[in-house]
Structure 1
């Protein structure tokens, strides 16, 4: 299959162009050659490689740019809609949008999910969201062999992040106050609805 060269244009202005160029350089799939030129009217992208690779790379870039632009669209209330796909692609980590939303609410931010749960509507800064995604990932990695059940992981992850306690310390504390129990395999399980358990745990820990 012969190599070919293609040119593409992405409309943008000012700082937006620099941010998009950086994102594309960091995340775009590899082809033989990619050159990005920033102009007054937007980004001009030159790609050289196999036709199929170029087509796949361009489709990926289009989705990435669309998600990035959507994440920067603020409403009059100061909130914005951020596509979950954009966050996953940027962080290269999967996470629960429901859990992220719940933690943001406890931190005092507005946070709701769209009907299809493919967007989060929030007033939290993007840096805060990205840091929380890292924290969620780290906590779940630490507890995944000690607990059983998705909602158990949700509860322990949120409790650890919101109290800044080590996950193992949260497990011991939650077990001692009856929020967790051990099953027949000695794995910790949550004994009640996870959102209610978070509130109860925070009330007991924060009031001491």
Structure 2
């Protein structure tokens, strides 16, 4: 498992594909009724990026992306990806204080009724109890898997966090085609990866 961060490069076009995927087992009875079982509590996400230009001369953007792909050995190794449209939260609710519970998992919720664990933390801006910022180290610590551990159980109020996170991703294929547009300028029409907010993909 690699903690290398996918490079942010110019030349990335608009129109990035972002596709959440679940797995559901379905069986139809002779009566026509369906029986369904959800096999995943959190989705995996597929991303498709397109680069309209990658310079290979002084800027060396081509070498950066080319080298990153080679270092991962295609689809073999994973890495961290910061998706610009979904990489941070502000005052994200993670639980209610009970007076006895000391551990709370960091989550990211995009809609009411659904939140998923965030385990690849980039930065913790703050953790608040009932709107009051807590002190990192003195009041709480955060594990490598995004578990907030309070020194003493908060007695009352909602618990929130603000900060940024990564997706853990891998390339979907063992090859990555680059096309020469002119001297020292290339394009990459389709870079595909699959990712998760968890530690494994």
- TM-score class, shorter-chain normalisation, is under 0.3
Structure 1 length as normaliser, TM-score? 0.22
Which protein is richer in helix relative to its size?
A: 1
Structure 2 length as normaliser, TM-score? 0.22
Which protein is richer in strand relative to its size?
A: 2
